[in-house]
Structure 1
Amino acid sequence: MMTYVKAAFILVTAIALLMVISFWAAGRARTALDDEARDKLLSRGHAYSFIELSQGKVHYRLEGPEDGQLIVLVHGFSTPSFVWDEHFKPLVQAGYRVLAFDNYGRGLSARPDVTYNADLFDTQLVELLDALGVKRRVDLVGYSMGGAIATVFSARHTERVRSLTLIAPAGLGVASNPNIELLTRPLIGDWIVRLFGTRLFYSGAAEEAKSATNPGAFLAGFNRQLEYRGYGDALLSTLRHYPFTGLDDAYAAVGASSLPVLVIWGEADAVVPYSAATRLMELVPQAQLRSYPAVGHNITFSDPALVNSLIMSFLRTQDTRVTSPGAGGKPRGPLARMEPRRCASCTGLPEEGEIVVAPIN
């Protein structure tokens, strides 16, 4: 009997040691995202600009007239700021100054060994705007998890925001996924992500790329961030610590602030279910909701022309309204609500007469 016990102990110890070694080796196999790597990225035209913040260097892209109203684009959970590439030209041509950046742990930004929670990403955006010398109110646009980041920022720093656009925003619930739930478990999740994360993440991106207007460029941009250490660890920490649900208070604070809010959502969204829009509209009663049947979570990069047209139409309204603070620090000016639009083509600008003042059913 003791022989079997000893044999089992040796086997378990050997397996544990093998897992530890493989975990360490997998992490060291990737390139460090240091200054040498950043210089190479810049020289090859794969990066725009870097700026030093408290948790490391952040990769960002800033274009448009210096005196233009600043639009800040915040990407989602796993796909970095290149998701906004096709939004820059039309927005800049419309006279806006446009800023997109990689959240910590994503793209070409630093991957600090910290807890990836709401405070981290909120502080990153605050520090980035301060470091770039942004003094005026900005128009925030957040996609998926970026919508949650933008909502938290707007709730905490309302005085810095002129308007808020949310595209399939997280924070009020996401679709359940058994595979994701497995990754959040201690030890086993870390080991899976460290050894197989690259394959898993790339597989998911390859599926998403099918709906992109330029699948090759999408995959190339996504794959580039996988080359450097820390991406999988950052995503795992985010899964464990970021409030993908339960941000009701932040949304309610935005609703109480009277900030102009536009919400864009695909009704066939399988990642952040469209059903969460009902709760969002309850918490943010001034919001304008635009929804599209048979459209999924990838609307930002699967139909950038539609999203750009909606954003610019919304922002043109802000350009003509009084945006100085009113009583209690709230922006002046009434807003209408938009009901979901049912359409066959789901493309193009909103049609005349579609904006109504009405509750969401």
Structure 2
Amino acid sequence: MYQALKPSRTEFVPVRNLNYHVRQWGQPDATQPPLVLVHGWMDVSASWQFVVDALRADRWIIAPDWRGFGLTRASGPAPDSYWFPDYLADLDILLDHYVGERAIDLVGHSMGGHISMLYSGTRPERVRRLVNLEGFGMAETQPVQAPGRYAQWMDQVKALHRGENGLKAYDAVEGVVQRLMKTNPRLPRDKADWLARHWSAPNEQGAWEILGDAAHKVINAQLFRVDETLAFYRRISAPVLLVTAKADSLGVWWKGKFTLAEFEERLRAVPNARSVEVADAGHMVHHDQPAELASLIERFFLAAD
């Protein structure tokens, strides 16, 4: 099994009726900005371990499990819907708790990359530099789609409360390992073995369950508006580095309905942004090429404005 080179420590922070699970590496340091890492959909904070191990410099690193993922859970019943504004508010309160008024260096993957872009446009003074790792947002929607989308959301919420569309459980951790390797064929066995024990946990019956709420599978009732997204992008004052994988994950997901060229056109709204591509990598770039990604991140954070 993979052996972590830089052990993390974890704690729970009360945030908006949630016990937020936060992982940290290193110690608080007044000489450089805190580094905050935010994971993507159906992922966990431990997912950053391989990149953290590859970083050359020692830094104070903060990585939360988003609400409803990993070990972050509501104190009462789990929600039946999740909304992007909640992630921004959670991040804002976590930064209040850990760093106060200090600006941070922020890295977000996938859903976390999209959230990081929105947050950087909402609180531009809190982000010194931003690395968006395959965080594209979603395909544009039109107002005419709203009634059908609301109907679909209501149907899925009802199905959730009937106990349908839950997350699959596995008889043993080996099933989780195989799922991780099937989803990402580039993921080596030792890393899959390590991740499986952070990405899932045994329940009272001994079956291994994914550490994520089934409600994350419920469609968002709100439309995705590009004009609104661009308004956030225009307010970003931090230099932004977009990191994409050579394997076009966006094209695979959306099958032509949303392309990398379309996203790069949106990125033009960011006052100071550039992009770089990582070869021999898929969507989980931080698993596929952690050393190269760590090098890109460190060079970007050290570069002159």
TM-score, structure 1 normalization: 0.64
Asked if the contact 1:103–1:121 (Cα under 8 Å) also holds between the matched residues in 2, the reply is yes
Give the distance between the partners of 2:293 and 2:68, measured in 1 at CA. 26
| 2:270 matched residue in structure 1 | 284
Asked if the contact 1:209–1:218 (Cα under 8 Å) also holds between the matched residues in 2, the reply is no
Aligned residues: 264
| 1:219 matched residue in structure 2 | 196
| 1:349 matched residue in structure 2 | none
| 1:207 matched residue in structure 2 | 182
Asked if the contact 2:133–2:242 (Cα under 8 Å) also holds between the matched residues in 1, the reply is yes
| 2:57 matched residue in structure 1 | 94
Q: Give 1:131 shift.
A: 1.8
Instruction: Tell me the percent identity.
Output: 22
| 1:129 matched residue in structure 2 | 95
1:109 aligns with 2:72: yes
| Secondary structure class of the residue paired with 2:234 | helix
Please tell me the residue identity of whatever aligns with 1:98.
I
What do residues 293-312 of structure 1 show as CA deviations (whole Å, max 9, x unaligned)? 55321112111111111111
The partner residue of 1:171 within 137, 152, 157 is 137
1:234 aligns with 2:215: yes
What do residues 242-284 of structure 1 show as CA deviations (whole Å, max 9, x unaligned)? 77x4355344433344320000001421347534432233222
Q: 1:164 to 1:248 in 2, by over 3 A?
A: farther
Q: Give 1:159 shift.
A: 1.0
Q: 1:312 to 1:47 in 2, by over 3 A?
A: closer
| 1:303 matched residue in structure 2 | 289
* 1:11-30 alignment runs, 5 A limit: none
1:193 aligns with 2:170: no
Asked if the contact 1:108–1:225 (Cα under 8 Å) also holds between the matched residues in 2, the reply is no
Report which structure shows greater RCO (CA 8 Å, sep ≥6). 2
In terms of mean alpha carbon deviation, does 125-134 or 106-115 score higher?
106-115
Task: Name stretches of at least 5 consecutive residues in structure 2 with no aligned partner.
Answer: 1-6, 141-148
Give the distance between the partners of 2:276 and 2:229, measured in 1 at CA. 21
| 1:38 matched residue in structure 2 | none
Q: Say which one has the larger Rg.
A: 1
| 2:28 matched residue in structure 1 | 66
Please tell me the residue identity of whatever aligns with 1:88.
V
Higher relative helix content: 1
| 1:39 matched residue in structure 2 | none
| 1:141 matched residue in structure 2 | 107
Asked if the contact 1:171–1:248 (Cα under 8 Å) also holds between the matched residues in 2, the reply is no
| 1:259 matched residue in structure 2 | 238
Give the distance between the partners of 1:64 and 1:310, measured in 2 at CA. 20
Asked if the contact 1:172–1:246 (Cα under 8 Å) also holds between the matched residues in 2, the reply is no
Deviation beyond 6 Å, 4+ runs, structure 1: none
Higher relative strand content: 2
Asked if the contact 2:120–2:236 (Cα under 8 Å) also holds between the matched residues in 1, the reply is no
